[in-house]
């Protein structure tokens, strides 16, 4: 679905012409009528070198819909700066993208639980001390054999939002509002994403087509299934154990696709796409079976009786639509 394409292209052109000092004036970007998928489960790679900061993955939007921009360790524009992730917020009937930025403090990012120190409010993955960044290894991965600027603070783990992978702020998602501290951070001088961050985003946009002229079926399929998992969690149709099982399997498929793409110059072979699609079909069936078994509450069970047929038809349509082309 293409919504506001001309306005978005104009906005993208304008952003490239705005100097860094004026970046604090930039707020809302792309406007979309459909909600972004739930945040996928993935494993954080270890920090490659001291001084790099983690910027979490997020859903971006392009001509073919939402696509995933993976998280990456990035050198900040200058020491002392922290990254405030971007987020989708619902307003006036649409989901609006609020761009991320660098600044002296972490500001408001919609209450989205990006993980790895981003609990929805603030950042607990590390802190600057005398021009040196120290990492909280309770929530971020660091190779401690080469990086000794670390500490352990496990109290942040209690701030984790269990079973809520909503990637937006608004009805059906996160309901957080900016605190006084958030508003102070929002009024500070901001720095735009670095050229390396923009390069990762642009690369993800290019890979949103799978190298064969088709829509990126793997990413689209993952987004569909994450939405079904999130709905099952909120409705009570998926138990915590069932949720962990299907999310871990989904994360394994994502890792397999990433490794295959890296080995093939950014694309998947037809055989690899076929194998991954088969695995996704198996997860799709497991989601359906888990949502319609006896392991849920009475209200969910009553909903199951009404919705089982429609969801089964939806799953079959998705499998047929995403079947690899020969």
Range 276-280 average pLDDT: 83
Structure confidence at residue 80 (pLDDT): 95
Predicted confidence at residue 17, as pLDDT, reads 30
Please report, to the nearest 10 degrees, the dihedral formed by the alpha carbons of residues 91, 176, 164, 98 taken in order: 50
Q: Describe the strand order of the beta sheet including 126-129 as a list of residue ranges.
A: 126-129, 132-136, 150-151
Is-above-0.85 flag for pTM?
A: no
pLDDT for the residue numbered 212: 36
At 8, is the pLDDT very low, low, confident or very high (cuts 50, 70, 90)?
very low
Can you list the alpha helix ranges (DSSP code H) found in 84-239? Answer: 180-186, 195-206, 217-235
**Does residue 20 carry a pLDDT above 80?**
no
């Amino acid at each position: 679905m293409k919504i506001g394409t001309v306005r978005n292209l104009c906005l993208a052109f304008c952003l490239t012409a705005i100097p860094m000092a004026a970046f604090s004036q930039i707020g809302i970007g792309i406007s979309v009528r459909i909600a972004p998928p739930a945040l996928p489960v993935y494993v954080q790679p270890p920090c490659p070198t001291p001084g790099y900061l983690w910027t979490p993955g997020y859903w971006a939007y392009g001509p073919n819909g939402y696509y995933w921009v993976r998280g990456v360790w990035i050198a900040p524009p200058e020491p002392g700066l922290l990254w405030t992730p971007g987020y989708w917020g619902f307003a006036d009937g649409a989901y609006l993208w609020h761009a991320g930025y660098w600044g002296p403090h972490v500001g408001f990012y919609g209450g989205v639980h990006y993980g790895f120190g981003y609990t929805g409010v603030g950042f607990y993955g590390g802190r600057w001390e005398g021009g040196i960044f120290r990492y909280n290894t309770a929530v971020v991965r660091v190779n401690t054999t080469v990086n000794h600027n670390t500490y352990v603070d496990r109290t942040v783990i209690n701030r984790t939002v269990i079973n809520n992978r909503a990637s937006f702020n608004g009805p059906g998602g996160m309901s957080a509002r900016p605190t006084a501290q958030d508003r102070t951070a929002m009024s500070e001088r901001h720095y735009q994403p670095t050229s390396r961050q923009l390069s990762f985003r642009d690369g993800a946009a290019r890979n949103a087509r799978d190298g064969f002229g088709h829509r990126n079926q793997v990413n689209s399929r993952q987004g569909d299934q994450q939405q079904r998992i999130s709905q099952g969690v909120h409705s009570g149709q998926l138990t915590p154990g069932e949720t962990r099982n299907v999310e871990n399997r989904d994360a394994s498929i994502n890792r397999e696709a990433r490794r295959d793409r890296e080995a093939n110059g950014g694309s998947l072979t037809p055989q690899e796409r076929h194998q991954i699609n088969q695995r996704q079909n198996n997860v799709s069936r497991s989601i359906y079976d888990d949502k319609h078994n006896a392991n849920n509450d009475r209200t969910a069970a009553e909903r199951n009786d009404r919705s089982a047929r429609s969801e089964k038809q939806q799953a079959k349509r998705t499998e047929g639509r995403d079947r690899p082309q020969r």
